[in-house]
Amino acid sequence: MRTTILIADDLSFMRMIEKEILTERGYHVVGEAVDGLDAVEKYKRLRPDVVVMDITMPNMNGLEAMRRILQIDPGARIIMCSALGQQHLIVDAIKAGVKDFIVKPFKPDRMLAAIQKALAAPSEGAGA
């Protein structure tokens, strides 16, 4: 079965670019969330293998969304997408259990490597 991925970003351009990169490499983008709340809802519904989550989003930011998702599913594989200058936020995310992060503007290789790494790591939860 193809690896399923949920993209969460409030910018449609970013979602589009990420989706293109992932689809090209054979991943199945099962859903796109436009903010943190949406991401949590879609995660519950779609149970993707990996979430690629932006930090800066309206309604609920990526950090909070990540925490909620990990509450629902401690084995969730989440990759944070961050811009420079948000290093302290990424550190918080790592503390909370995020699997990896990528820095915008990212190279496709970086994103794919992060996803592969997240998939390779043992998943401690039941849901993934």
Partner 1 sequence: MSSDQALADFLDKAEDWAQDLAASLELLGKQPERSDVVDRVFQTTHNYKNSAILGFVRLAGLAHRMEDVLTLVRQQAIAVNQAVLDALYAGSDLIAEMVAAIGRGEGDGTVNLSGIIEELGRWAPPEQDPAGPAAPSANPPAAQAPAEAPAPAVVEAAPDPQLLGAFLEDAEDRSQKLASLLSALEPGAANREAIHETFRAAHDLKSASATAGFHLMSRLAHRMEDVFQKVRDGTLEIAEPVRDALLAGSDRIAEMVAAIGRGEAEGTVDTAAAIADLSAFAPAGPAGPGTPEAAPARPVMTEQSFGAFERAQVREAGDRGESLFRLTCEMDPAEEMRFARAYLLYTGLEDAVNIVAVDPPMDPAAVEPDAQGNVPDDRPYAHLTVWFTSSGDGSEALSAAAGTGTLKVERLEAADLLGSIPAGPSAAAEPGQRSTVERTTIRVDTRKLDTLWSLVAELVQAKARVSTISDRLGRGDDAENVRTGLSEAFDSLDKISGGMQQAMMETRMIPIRVIFEKFPRLVRDLSRKLHKAIDLETIGADTEIDRGIVEALSDPLMHLLRNAVDHGVEFPEDRVRHGKSERGRVRVSANQQGGRIVIEVSDDGRGIDVEAVRRKALAQGIPGAAGMDERELCELVFRPGFSTREIVSELSGRGVGMDVVATRVRTDLKGEVLLKSRAGAGTQVTLLLPLTLTIMRTLLVRGESHVFAVPLSGVETTTRVLNTEIRGAGERLACVWQDAEIPLFTIGGLLGRPSRRAEELSAVILRRGGSRACLVVDELLEEREIVIKPLDDLANHRRLFSGVSVREDGTLVFILDTSFVPEEGS
Judged by CB, which is closer to partner 1: 10, or 41? 10
Q: In the bound complex, what is the minimum distance in angstroms from residue 1's beta carbon to partner 1?
A: 24
DSSP SS3 for 100: strand
Strands (E) located in the chain: 4-8, 28-33, 50-54, 77-83, 100-104
For the bound state, the minimum distance from the C-beta of residue 109 to partner 1, rounded and expressed in Å, comes to 10
Which residue, 72 or 103, has its beta carbon nearer to partner 1? Answer: 103
Taking the complex as a whole, how short is the minimal distance between the CB of residue 76 and partner 1, in angstroms?
Answer: 16
> For residue 85, what is the DSSP state?
T
Q: By CB under 8 A, name the binding residues for partner 1.
A: 10-14, 16-17, 20-21, 56, 58, 82-85, 87-88, 90-91, 94-95, 100-101, 103-108, 113-114, 117, 120-121
Residues sharing a CB contact under 8 Å with residue 10, sequence separation 6 or more, in sequence order: 34, 35, 54, 56, 57, 58
